[in-house]
């Protein structure tokens, strides 16, 4: 008799507990629907999210700015090896004293006009070393921008898939709340028929209240994840978007040998450390270059005459001159020696950091690969748990219909299925994030 009444109530309700995870949505209830059709007009894919974040991330753009500045420094350093051309115009007046040169012997006359083009060139060992240091600095800045880019990808992947998972959890919470309300109505009907005790109704009511609270928390979590991703993707605060849920399309993890080979070739942290060592060595060379002479050459063409004209009394004023200078350092109270020592200390520190970076790469590679491997292997287990939990719920409902089990076991089966489904979603997010973190060492695979 109890089975018959339960079956009738089950059918009249329009949706059974065993249909909780079916794709057919439950009937509208008094609970506010959190999974209503979204008003979002934009669906964002993961690649689109990464591209948008690169455009709007101040930290990533700062790394690109630093790279651009380093490139321009190298351009300026290279230009220093070529002659610089200037055109100088000058008028000198000297108080007269009755002589052609005037009162000051440094000038050539009372009135002296200079209008000359000047080509200037300077060469030194320090200049060459400084340019090589600028090249290493550009390489270092480029590597750091790549580090920032890969770190941003991890942030976007984590936020993107957290939102996708929270949307799934919200749907799960909505279905669980609807089914809890439906189960409460069934127990109330059975109580009125004298088939179950009032304790079953109380348990069902407690279950319904728990699911209502879970639904509110799921709504809050989804809202928080939505806002967090919006801040990454858009230059203005825009919430009118949704994400393309591709959690079920995870890429397989490549073999460890391939990952290790990619890490050795494409690791930006290692490139940055190598560039820092080269930069430090060039700094040492630049400091030592101050011990050696510096050569400069100036070539002038124009006028240097008492009148501002190309001729004076028929004599041409246009002419040229050249000045070659060799500056030989002799003594500066140990300044050069101190600079060499400073640069050598920096070189030693850069080499220590390179050694640590190499060791850290090996350790991080092993750790992150193991993390991704564990996350991948657990996905199948989590999926099987969700399938088994669904089967357990079906069997418990049949037993409850036949009066062979208590309401506690039926409610527990509902909770187990909800938890198993959420755990599977969390496992999918974990695997995607683990892949992204591993690719900070290897690049895309």
| pLDDT, tens only, 196-238 | 788 888 988 998 999 999 999 999 999 999 999 999 999 998 8
Clarify whether residues 71 and 88 are in a common domain.
Answer: no
Task: Identify the CATH number of the domain in which residue 140 sits.
Answer: 1.20.1600.10
pLDDT at 353: 96
Indicate the SS3 state at residue 123: strand
What is the helix (H) or strand (E) element at residue 84, kind and residue range?
strand 84-93
Clarify whether residues 176 and 241 are in a common domain.
Answer: yes
Query: In this predicted model, which residue has the larger pLDDT, 118 or 180?
Result: 118
Residue 163 CA to residue 353 CA, distance in Å, equals 38
Q: What percent of the chain has pLDDT over 70?
A: 88
Residue 253 phi, psi (nearest 5):
-80, 130
- Number of Cβ atoms within 10 Å of the Cβ of 133: 23
Describe the strand order of the beta sheet including 294-305 as a list of residue ranges. Answer: 84-93, 111-123, 294-305, 318-327
| pLDDT, tens only, 145-191 | 999 999 999 999 999 999 999 999 999 999 889 888 888 887 888 78
Q: What average pLDDT does the segment 16-40 reach? A: 41
Length of the chain: 445
Please indicate, yes or no, whether the overall pTM of this predicted structure exceeds 0.75.
yes
Indicate the SS3 state at residue 214: helix
Of 282, 307, 328, which residue is a domain's last?
328
Clarify whether residues 186 and 309 are in a common domain.
Answer: no
Clarify whether residues 358 and 401 are in a common domain.
Answer: yes
Clarify whether residues 178 and 297 are in a common domain.
Answer: no
Q: Which of 231-245, 275-289, 309-323 has the highest mean pLDDT?
A: 275-289
Clarify whether residues 301 and 369 are in a common domain.
Answer: no
Considering its fold, how many domains does the chain have in total? 2
Quote the domain boundaries for residue 107: 84-123+293-328
Clarify whether residues 232 and 320 are in a common domain.
Answer: no
Clarify whether residues 299 and 396 are in a common domain.
Answer: no
- Number of Cβ atoms within 10 Å of the Cβ of 9: 19
Clarify whether residues 174 and 317 are in a common domain.
Answer: no
What Rg, from alpha-carbon coordinates, does the chain have?
39
Clarify whether residues 30 and 59 are in a common domain.
Answer: yes
Clarify whether residues 395 and 310 are in a common domain.
Answer: no
Task: Identify the CATH number of the domain in which residue 95 sits.
Answer: 2.20.200
Clarify whether residues 215 and 347 are in a common domain.
Answer: yes
Calculated CA dihedral for residues 203, 209, 215, 221, nearest 10 degrees: -110
Query: In this predicted model, which residue has the larger pLDDT, 65 or 27?
Result: 65
């Amino acid at each position: 008799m109890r089975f018959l009444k339960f079956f009738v109530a089950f059918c009249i309700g329009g949706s059974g507990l065993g249909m909780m995870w079916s794709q057919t949505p439950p009937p509208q209830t008094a609970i506010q629907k959190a999974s209503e059709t979204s008003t979002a007009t934009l669906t964002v894919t993961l690649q689109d999210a990464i591209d948008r974040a690169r455009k709007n991330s101040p930290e990533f753009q700062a790394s690109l700015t630093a790279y651009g500045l380093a490139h321009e420094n190298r351009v300026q350093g290279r230009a220093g090896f070529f002659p610089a051309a200037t055109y100088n115009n000058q008028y000198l007046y000297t108080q007269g004293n009755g002589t052609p040169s005037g009162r000051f012997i440094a000038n050539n006359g009372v009135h002296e006009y200079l209008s000359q083009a000047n080509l200037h060139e300077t060469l030194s060992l320090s200049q060459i070393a400084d340019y090589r240091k600028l090249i290493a600095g550009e390489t270092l800045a480029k590597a750091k921008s790549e580090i920032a880019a890969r770190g941003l990808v991890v942030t976007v992947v984590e936020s993107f898939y957290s939102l996708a998972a929270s949307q799934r959890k919200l749907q799960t919470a909505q279905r669980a709340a609807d089914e809890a309300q439906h189960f409460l109505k069934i127990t109330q009907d059975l109580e009125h028929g004298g088939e179950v005790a009032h304790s079953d109704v109380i348990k069902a009511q407690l279950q319904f209240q728990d699911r209502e609270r879970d639904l509110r928390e799921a709504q809050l979590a989804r809202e928080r994840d939505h806002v967090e991703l919006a801040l990454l993707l858009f230059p203005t605060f825009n919430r009118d978007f949704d994400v393309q849920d591709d959690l079920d399309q995870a890429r397989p993890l490549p073999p460890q040998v391939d990952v290790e080979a990619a890490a050795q070739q494409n690791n930006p942290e290692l490139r940055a450390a190598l560039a820092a060592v080269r930069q430090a060595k060039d700094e040492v060379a630049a400091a030592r270059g101050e011990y050696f002479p510096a050569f400069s050459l100036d070539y002038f063409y124009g006028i240097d005459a008492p009148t501002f004209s190309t001729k004076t009394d028929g004599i041409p004023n246009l002419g040229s001159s050249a000045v070659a200078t060799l500056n030989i350092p002799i003594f500066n109270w140990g300044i050069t020696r101190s600079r060499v020592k400073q640069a050598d200390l920096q070189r030693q520190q850069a080499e220590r950091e390179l050694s640590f970076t190499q060791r850290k790469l090996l350790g991080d590679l092993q750790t992150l690969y193991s993390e991704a491997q564990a996350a991948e292997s657990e996905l199948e287990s989590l999926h099987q748990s969700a399938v088994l939990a669904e089967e357990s719920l079906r069997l418990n409902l049949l037993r409850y219909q036949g009066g062979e089990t208590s309401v506690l076991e039926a409610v527990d089966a509902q909770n187990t299925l909800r938890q198993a489904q959420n755990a599977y979603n969390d496992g999918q997010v974990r695997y995607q994030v683990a892949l992204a973190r591993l690719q900070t060492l290897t690049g895309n695979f």
